[in-house]
């Protein structure tokens, strides 16, 4: 048997790479438009970094970290998420001293030892942003707007924004007690994980994926809110400051025409969240329906040894965005991925001339290929089609005599229907100029 990639990891072959590149480009472009700068952190970090900051009772720390040992005693982990390494880098490079308020973005692989299933992998990819150094609700709104803008740009029109608040630490302490009291009678009906969450971090019951736990949690929150005479159904009893902050976020989102659902009961699983939390869900994804998630983490920078600093960010799962985009793509959509030119020759003797042309194209940064094996014209045309080329340039005896080349644009497809083909004759001298305008590769 030939060797295989590990379960929960994937090879990306060229037809998928095109979609990945388009997404990565959209992320980079929009992050820069919103004033965020890229920061790249290593894939491995000291284990204690995550143990201290994410929370001992979280799924990530308890069961999802890939631990790596070197020959000495140091314990390292493959990074399971982006926020903690970003804050580490922010502090390590003294960005809080030199720059104050900093807006950063990242993109790359994350690793979690989860049970692989549709939309859930062991090596997956995220992009995300972190705006560090401000407690203003406007930054929450900017971050949410950017998160949704990128998703729209990637072709997602059917996602839903869930919005809530977890209040400050004091609110959380007060609310945890109240939630425990409410859940107590149903405690034995919670899953095993939630029974231990009940003790250690009761809000994580609200983040459980088990249907029974979700039902119990929702009922408890409904009761708490009914007793308090308040809506929306966050189980957090908010201090005046936190309530004001949440109102400002919601009002600015409404002003910006961004629809949100603040009636859902949910909490973010990591310990460091305070105040605004949000998730973006997509119905096309089935049970793993969270595409992006984020929120405010006003205490993390200080807990990691820095000064007190407000901060807010999000992380989006790239695989899930692409899955959701594929669900939304209609059958009738024109296939937009044809790229580059294939230089075909009718006789092996013309390879020399063809090679000269593709070298000129390469020097211009234009995407161009040819076959060197003296294949039939038919085989070359098939190869051009399979390679997804936009143009085939045919160099035959007639063309060479007249110092011309036949340029054929390959059909774009609409479902299984081909859309217009065209062929024209171009003077050989003009060919490189003309075609190189059209066939820049996707990263240009």
Residues engaged in binding ligand ATP (CB under 6 A):
81, 112, 114, 119-121, 124, 126, 269, 288, 290-293, 315, 317, 319-320
Contact between residue 156 and residue 321 where contact means Cβ atoms under 8 Å apart: yes
Q: Using CB atoms within 10 A of its CB, is residue 225 exposed (0-12), middle (13-18) or buried (19+)?
A: middle
Nearer to ligand ATP, 323 or 357 (CB): 323
**Whose Cβ is closer to ligand ATP: residue 141's or residue 324's?**
324
The least CB distance from residue 264 to ligand ATP, in Å, is 13
DSSP string covering 423-440: EEEEEHHHHHHHHHHH--
Distance from the first to the final alpha carbon of the chain:
40
- Can you tell me the distance from the alpha carbon of 75 to that of 48, in angstroms, rounded to the nearest whole number? 8
* Angle, alpha carbons 302-136-49 (nearest 5°): 25
Least Cβ distance, residue 279 to ligand ATP (angstroms): 7
Residue whose C-alpha is closest to residue 386's, from 337, 352, 351, 443 = 337
User: Following DSSP, what letter does each residue of 281-334 receive, concatenated?
Assistant: EEGGGTTS-EEEEEEE-TTHHHHTTS----EEEEEEEHHHHHHHHHHH--TT-B
- Taking the C-alpha atoms of residue 113 and residue 6, their distance in angstroms, rounded to an integer, is 12
| 46, β-bridge pairs | 76
Least distance in Å: CB of 288 to ligand ATP?
5
Choice between 60 and 394, CB closer to ligand ATP? 60
Which residue number, 262 or 279, has a Cβ lying nearer to ligand ATP? 279
Smallest distance, ligand ATP to C-beta of residue 271, A: 12
Q: How far, rounded to the nearest angstrom, does the alpha carbon of residue 60 sit from its chain's CA centroid?
A: 18
Q: 3-state DSSP helix/strand/coil percent for the chain, to nearest 5?
A: 45, 20, 35
Indicate the residue among 292 and 405 with the shorter CB distance to ligand ATP: 292
Q: Which residues pair with 124 in a beta bridge?
A: 110
Nearest residue (CB) to ligand ATP, 119 versus 310? 119
Q: Judged by CB, which is closer to ligand ATP: 10, or 371?
A: 10
Rounded Cα gap, residues 64 and 31, in angstroms: 29
CA atoms within 13 A on the CB side of 191: 15
Task: For the CB of residue 291, give the shortest distance to ligand ATP in the complex, in Å.
Answer: 5
Compare residues 290 and 377 and give the one whose CB is closer to ligand ATP: 290
Least Å from the CB of residue 239 to ligand ATP: 26
3-class secondary structure, 403:
coil
Q: Which is nearer to ligand ATP, 298 or 319 (CB)?
A: 319
In the complex, minimum distance from the CB of residue 55 to ligand ATP, in angstroms, rounded to a whole number: 12
- Residue 441's alpha-carbon distances to 18, 106, 202, in angstroms, are 10, 24, 51
Q: How far is the CB of 9 from ligand ATP (least distance, A)?
A: 11
Alpha carbon of residue 158 to chain centroid:
16
CB nearer to ligand ATP: give 115 or 352: 115
The residue nearest ligand ATP at its CB is 317
Q: Measured from the CB of residue 371, what is the shortest distance to ligand ATP in angstroms?
A: 39
Give least dist CB 273 to ligand ATP, A: 10
């Amino acid at each position: 048997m030939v060797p295989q990639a590990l379960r929960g990891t994937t090879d990306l072959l060229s037809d998928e790479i095109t979609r990945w590149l388009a997404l990565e480009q959209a992320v980079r472009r929009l992050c820069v438009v919103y004033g965020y700068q890229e920061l790249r952190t290593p894939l491995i970090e000291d284990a204690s970094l995550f143990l201290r900051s994410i929370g001992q009772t979280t799924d990530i720390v308890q069961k999802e970290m890939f631990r790596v040992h070197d020959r000495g005693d140091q314990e390292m982990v493959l990074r399971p998420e982006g926020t903690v390494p970003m804050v580490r880098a922010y502090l390590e490079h003294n960005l809080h001293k030199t720059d104050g308020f900093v807006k950063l973005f990242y993109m790359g692989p994350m690793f979690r030892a989860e049970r692989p299933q549709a939309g859930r992998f062991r090596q997956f990819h995220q992009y995300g942003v972190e705006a560090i150094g401000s407690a203003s609700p406007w930054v929450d709104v900017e971050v949410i707007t950017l998160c949704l803008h990128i998703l729209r740009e990637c072709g997602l029109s059917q996602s839903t924004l869930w919005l809530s608040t977890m209040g400050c630490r004091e609110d959380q302490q007060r609310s945890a007690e109240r939630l425990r009291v409410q859940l107590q009678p149903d405690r034995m009906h919670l899953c095993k994980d939630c029974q231990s969450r009940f003790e250690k971090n009761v809000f994580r019951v609200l983040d459980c994926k088990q249907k029974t736990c979700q039902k119990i949690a929702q009922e408890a929150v409904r009761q708490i809110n009914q007793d308090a005479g308040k809506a929306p159904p966050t189980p957090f009893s908010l201090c005046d400051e936190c309530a004001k902050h949440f109102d400002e976020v919601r009002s600015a989102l409404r002003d910006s025409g961004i629809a949100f659902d603040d009636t859902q009961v949910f909490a973010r699983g990591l310990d460091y969240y305070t105040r605004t939390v949000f998730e973006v869900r997509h119905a096309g994804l089935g049970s793993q329906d969270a595409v992006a998630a984020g929120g405010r983490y006003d205490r993390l920078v200080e807990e990691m040894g820095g000064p007190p600093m407000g901060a807010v960010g999000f992380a989006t799962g790239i695989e899930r965005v692409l899955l959701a985009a594929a669900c939304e793509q209609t059958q009738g959509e024109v296939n937009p991925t044809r790229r580059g030119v294939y230089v075909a020759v009718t006789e092996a003797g013309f390879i020399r001339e063809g090679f000269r042309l593709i070298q000129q194209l390469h020097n211009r940064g234009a995407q161009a290929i040819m076959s060197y094996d003296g294949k039939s014209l038919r085989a070359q045309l098939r190869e051009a089609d399979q390679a997804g080329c936009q143009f085939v340039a045919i160099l035959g005896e007639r063309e060479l005599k007249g110092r011309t080349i036949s340029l054929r644009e390959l059909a774009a497809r609409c479902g299984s229907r081909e859309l217009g083909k065209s062929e024209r004759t171009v003077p050989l001298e003009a060919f490189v100029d003309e075609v190189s305008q059209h066939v820049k590769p996707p990263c240009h």
